[in-house]
């Protein structure tokens, strides 16, 4: 398997970044959801610290995925109809937009509150703002929450499309995103 994408298949970097991003974004979603269910301030603070720390750790993979996707050849779609090709591109584009919005608004929400971003209590990323910016904090928290709400509808559409290719079309679309032996022809 090649490191780079080709017109026929995804390379191993794209596949690895896809699955690391999928697992990481799912974990961050559930960690963020814990914030809403926290019974008290201490539990909320602990949940927020874990969510933020995992987010910073995952940031490099998510950013790499965005840059790698933009820089690489995209394999030719095996989708047979133009409308479904457009739908697939829209869902993939919304996923990337959601990730980008979350990457930007997460840190901004903390920094605009006047706090540094503490990462697993190992180091902190200081706020670029001299003082809290409450209006910005409120706005970016709203955008962060709204972007996170796109998660499940996009997952349903994405997995539904993959299952359609696997079960109805019986083409290699799903196989191209898995580490399985590909036909040589």
Ramachandran region of residue 31, left (φ > 0), alpha (ψ -120 to 50) or beta? alpha
**Per-residue pLDDT at 95 exceeds 50:** yes
Is the residue at 185 inside a domain? no
Position 138 confidence tier, pLDDT thresholds 50, 70, 90: very high
Cα–Cα separations (whole angstroms), residue 131 to 49, 116, 134, 146: 21, 11, 9, 25
Please give the Cα distance from 140 to 129 (Å, whole number): 14
Calculate the average pLDDT of the chain.
90
Tally of structural domains, the chain: 1
Position 9 confidence tier, pLDDT thresholds 50, 70, 90: confident
Is the residue at 168 inside a domain? yes
Please give the Cα distance from 25 to 13 (Å, whole number): 18
Domain membership of residue 122 as a residue range: 12-177
Find out whether 69 and 93 touch, Cβ atoms under 8 Å: no
Q: Determine the average pLDDT of the residues in 81-105.
A: 90
Is the residue at 16 inside a domain? yes
Query: When comparing pLDDT for 25 and 180, which is higher?
Result: 25
Q: Which pLDDT value is given to residue 179?
A: 66
**Per-residue pLDDT at 180 exceeds 70:** no
Position 184 confidence tier, pLDDT thresholds 50, 70, 90: very low
Is the residue at 183 inside a domain? no
Is the residue at 6 inside a domain? no
Query: What CATH code is carried by the domain that includes residue 118?
Result: 1.20.950
> For the whole model, what pTM was predicted?
0.82
């Amino acid at each position: 398997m090649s490191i780079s994408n080709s017109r026929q298949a995804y390379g191993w970097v794209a596949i690895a970044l896809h699955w690391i991003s999928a697992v990481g974004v799912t974990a961050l979603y559930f960690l963020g959801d814990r914030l809403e269910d926290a019974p008290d301030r201490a539990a909320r603070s602990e949940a927020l610290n874990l969510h933020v720390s995992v987010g910073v750790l995952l940031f490099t993979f998510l950013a790499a995925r965005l840059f790698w996707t933009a820089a690489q050849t995209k394999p030719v779609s095996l989708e047979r109809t133009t409308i479904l090709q457009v739908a697939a591109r829209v869902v993939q584009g919304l996923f990337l937009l959601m990730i980008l919005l979350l990457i930007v608004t997460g840190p901004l929400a903390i920094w605009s509150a006047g706090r540094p971003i503490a990462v697993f209590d190992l180091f902190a990323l200081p706020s670029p703002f001299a003082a809290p910016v409450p209006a910005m904090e409120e706005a970016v928290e709203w955008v962060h929450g709204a972007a996170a709400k796109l998660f499940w509808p996009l997952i349903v559409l994405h997995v539904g499309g993959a299952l359609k290719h696997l079960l109805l079309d019986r083409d290699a679309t799903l196989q191209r995103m898995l580490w399985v032996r590909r036909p040589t022809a």
